[in-house]
Structure 1
Amino acid sequence: MSDREKHKKHRIFRRLSRSIEAVGDSVTRRLRLSIRTRISFNYIALYTFVAGVTLLVFVCGYLVMVENQVMQSNQGVLEGIPQNVQSLTEEEATEYLSRLKEDNRFSIAAYTSENTVFYPEESPIIWYQNRKNANIVFENLPFLSMYRYQLLPKEIYTTIADGQQMLVVLFFDVSTYWHALKFFVFLLAIAYLFGLFILWTLGSFKLKRVFQPIRDITQIARETNVQNLDRRIDVSTAKYELKDLAITINEMIDRIQEGYKRQQRFVSDVSHELRTPISVIQGYANMLDRWGKKDPEVLQESIDALTNEAQNMQNLVEGLLFLARHDKETLQLDKRRFDLSEIVESIIKDCEVIDKNHVYKYAFESNSCIHADLNQIKQCLRIFLDNAKKYTPDGKNIFVRVGKEGRYAFVDVQDEGVGIAKEDLHSIFERFYRADESRTKTTGGYGLGLSIAKAIVLEHKGKIQVRTKLNEGSSFRIYLPIEKE
């Protein structure tokens, strides 16, 4: 076989395999059942199993009842055969059985120990022994072997006068009982079909209501986008676990909506904050182009303004990058052991040198050692002190206290400024957020300071407590874990 023919056969085989896989996938998709259909089939299977067990118990109970009733009504005959036969010869036993058959409503067959026919001489209509030995069920439950012929057998083992072993089998006619049983089974079958219809109808209606929240969830998930994040799942029709699922998804959409709003506000605020320095830079660049080449004063003014705005933009970008690293949990901390009181004292002295318009009062508790990133803690403290300075009128006091509370060391920065309105209190740590009173350019800043301070404190497993009263001042208390000795 040439290589070309081999390649052709391989290509045909590959196409055939693909065709078989495609047919298999198509059949799988067509046979794929929904959860609702599978639950319906499971309920039907359970209902059928219960109905089958009920029918089996009923039939067995009925057969046992029939057997007991027949045996009780013929108890005298059953007890008399062994007593009467054992004193008779073979001929007398045959005559006795013949007479007994004529006087009662049952058939009789007698077998020797070798399973040969003893009475009657001709073979009986039913070869009972052959039927009984057909399988293990008939062997252990002989009365079942004859229900096909509507007969109930009763075995009696005895001996005759010459010592010969004999098995006498009485066949009672139970056709009346059999017809009644078939009628009862027929009624049960009708009841089963009626119950199946009710189960399917009511079950389908009930499952449709139960799974309605899932369809609503699917529809909401497909249709939800940034234009309609206010859509929610109706939980009034849901019950049990599905109601909990719908509520959970609604809460998730709430968080997504809130996060999207924050992102929109963040982008808007960044654009707004960058617009001003960019406009300043463009203005001074144009002024340089027109007059700065020949006028040294204009040149120096432009250079100073450009440098200042470039520094502002750098501070903004660095603040944003710091918060982004905090969000991604990638901040690197250079922790070391130091006394918090010493650091706060050093920062306050710097503030007193720079800020002559406020009075700084402080109280320190010694040995407030923590294990933290020194530079970040300094940055955090400067943010709170800078905030206190910005919003406290000239001549007023700024109080700083360092102490210990439980397993935390704390720094409390309290001012006598404008305070924070109650409606603004929950938002002061959001990025670019500034209360209405602080949105003027007199205070400056981009509204990132408290967000950065909060991120630093959280990175150190600390917490922040804020107390404020409008027009009287605010207190920011920072808690940081004390280093274990």
Structure 2
Amino acid sequence: MKSTRRFRFPINPFTGKRISTSSLQFRLTLELVVLSILGLSSVAVWAGWQLSQNLIVAHKGTLEYISARFPEQVELYSEMGSIEVGLNRSVYKSSTGGVMVWVKRNDGMLLVNSPGMDMQSSKITQMISLTQVPSEPSLIHINDRYLVICARTLTIKNQLQGTVYFSKDITTEKHQLNHSIRSLIAVSSLVILLLMLAIANRIRHALHPLEQMSQVASTLSADDLNAAKLELHQAPDEILGLAQTFNEMLLRLSASWEQQRQFVGNVSHELRTPLTVVLGYLQSLLRRGTNFSDYQKQALETAIGETERTIRMLEDLLDLARADSGNLHFSVNPVVLNTLVAEVAAMSQTVSNREITLVSTDQEVVASADQNRLQQVLINLVDNAIKYSSPEQPVDLVLEKTEKHAIIHICDGGIGISLAHQNRIFERFYRVDESMTRSRDGTGLGLAIAKSLIEGMEGRITLRSKPGEGSVFTIILPIWNSQL
């Protein structure tokens, strides 16, 4: 059985929120952090290498100086005595500051060595036994020791005396240098960490205006366009220019939306009167006509039905226009929902000849609402439940009560609504474009009006639905508080 690991976005250390790896903030932070790491690492590596080279070069210079003067010292001291005396005194003179000197004959026999050399030490023995030693001072590693060593042929008075070796143990200095390099790496790592936090924080502040714009845009609704405005302070000129353009766009959208609402309201108002006249004439013609054929009667009935539907749609549009403009007034009073819901259930059952089941609480539920508007919403929702469910399926009205809210559920076992359509079902003129709903009557405004009316009464309406299992519309209203 294979296990899968889900990728988790990195967390912003300042906000605690996860950052998308495709966001501008993450990309800028990552790029600047990588560049900072490369820059500081390069400086640290170069500084460590430079310190190491300085240490080695200094000791190499010392050995170079001593080895160059050694033959002269031997000749000078040899004039006062034998060559052996000259060698001993020159070796003793050169063995200062930790420098070790020893002289070997061509056959490998040790002639003389520095007085401080412990000939019983394995390190000294191994060092003396070296056969391949460069003529120029070089760094070699023997076991756990670091040595700068070189060898020169020794010629005195044109006679080859052997080979002289010079060595300087720099293990302590090397360890101190390594410790300094490790400290430099630790300090560099700490600086990189602090730099990462500083860069992330600075980029977050720099991009905060864009986040504000995103928040404002995500919370905007058509009713908020006029009042919405993005206020930015201490932002870069480019962001301020973008914010100004964003505010100007909101003003243009607000003006366009206001013109649209006025147009819809004016057209609805102007068309309702002539359509009402047309409907009256059609109904009168159908009642008084005695010599119409069946086809003509059917045509008149169709015309009357479409005219009535258009008038209903215009009335719905007028209600929405009033709600948008704030001219839809509500008479909010205490409403006994037990009685109202029972009346709606009985009325709908009589008109539709369908079974309407009422499930109510024993307690009296008194809500703060406009009774006529709430009745209109309930009739609309029950009518939808009847339309979109089969005749043998009952429609349930469930009344509940909580401490602060009155809740009404309108449940059906009908065709249901897919999740893709549920987010838009309360939009104006939106209808689920499926073969099972195309033939049903409706203007696509009923749910939009229901939402506007319920929200006008300080309530809210929600939907839960599953295709093939039915839908549940829930109305939530505030409980009436007599003390207010």
TM-score (norm 1): 0.42
